Amino acid sequence: MCGIIGITSNKPVSSAIINSLRKLEYRGYDSAGISTLSDGFINEVKSEGRVDNLEKNPAIKSMEGSVGIGHVRWATHGIPNTINAHPHSSETVSVVHNGIIENSAILKKSLITKGHKFKSQTDTEVIVHLITEYLKENDLKNSILKMLKKIQGSFALGIIFKNQPDLIVGARRGSPLAVGYGPNENYLGSDSYALKSMTNKISYLNDGEFCIVKKDEVEFFDENGNKINKKILELSSTEQSYDKGDFKHFMAKEIEEQPFTLKNCINEYIDNINNDINIYNFPWKNNEISSVTLIG
């Protein structure tokens, strides 16, 4: 599990991306990175370890750009280091990814035969090279469609383009992705919690959908590239805490919280008035259940 964030705005975005990455650290803390667009170039800064290490990187302080993406990583393909940290970039495209590309090895071999050179051990880098290859003969939208049809597996993606300085592309299959709306800026994130400090207006992508996010508009598309409409939901003002507290890492915190979490889940179905278990809203008949299997 990893966390991604994207912001397109009318002002510099690097500090806001760093702040959002802190909220996403419960999704991964092996490495962190950020890419922005400025002066016609992709600026990329990555660090091994936690977001604190990224923020201490001297290059962050001088990082400009009103469009950017960020990532916190829980390593799957490739060891946790700076080279394997996201974003992954070519001269024209930069990508952050949560998920696993199952056919990355096959795609990588094919791309190498076409002259593409890979820097990392990650599955994500094939996405960068696929889009770079498709952009040679296609516009942005068709390049994204071709890439999405080519890759197999699960993903939530944030993508910026050297030649498209005002937008971020988001895409989802199997991994969560949300879009947030703000004044003169819009957002992309792995969950609403990462966006909540900036906006309470959210839309969620469904599987197979992608979006083009600009600072003053957002367009949504289905898996065939047809434009679709999305509901804008308003988040509650209730704050949830996703920090580690006094625990050494998030896994220890999650283990410790299991009894409390199970109790809360069970309490949803306790009828205190009739002293009974209320499962009447479940989509099955009780007398049809012969066994229950719990899978973790």
pLDDT digits (tens, 9 = 90+) for 157-192: 999 999 999 999 999 999 999 999 999 999 999 988
Instruction: Give pLDDT, residue 240.
Output: 55
**Spatial distance between the Cα atoms of 211 and 69, rounded to a whole number of angstroms:** 15
Instruction: Give pLDDT, residue 201.
Output: 93
Sequence-separated (6 or more) residues with CB below 8 Å from residue 29: 49, 50, 51, 72, 74, 249, 250
**Spatial distance between the Cα atoms of 150 and 131, rounded to a whole number of angstroms:** 10
Q: Are 56 and 48 in contact (CB under 8 A)?
A: no
Q: Are 6 and 170 in contact (CB under 8 A)?
A: yes
Q: Let me know the angle formed at the C-alpha of 241 by 177 and 160, rounded to the nearest 5 degrees.
A: 30
* Tokens describing residue 123: 């599955």
Burial of 277 (0-12, 13-18, 19+ CB in 10 A): exposed
Q: What SS3 state is found at 102? A: coil
**Spatial distance between the Cα atoms of 157 and 128, rounded to a whole number of angstroms:** 11
Intervals of the chain under pLDDT 70: 237-244, 279-283
Instruction: Give pLDDT, residue 153.
Output: 93
Residue 197 DSSP code: T
**Spatial distance between the Cα atoms of 46 and 292, rounded to a whole number of angstroms:** 46
Instruction: Give pLDDT, residue 238.
Output: 56
pLDDT tens figures, 115-154: 999 999 999 999 999 999 999 999 999 999 999 999 999 9
End-to-end C-alpha distance for the chain, whole angstroms: 16
Instruction: Give pLDDT, residue 253.
Output: 84
Residue 203's nearest CA partner among 231, 183, 175, 174 is 231
Sequence-separated (6 or more) residues with CB below 8 Å from residue 99: 2, 153, 154, 155, 156, 173, 174, 175
Q: Is the pTM of this model over 0.75?
A: yes
Instruction: Give pLDDT, residue 279.
Output: 66
Instruction: Give pLDDT, residue 277.
Output: 74
**Spatial distance between the Cα atoms of 199 and 231, rounded to a whole number of angstroms:** 15
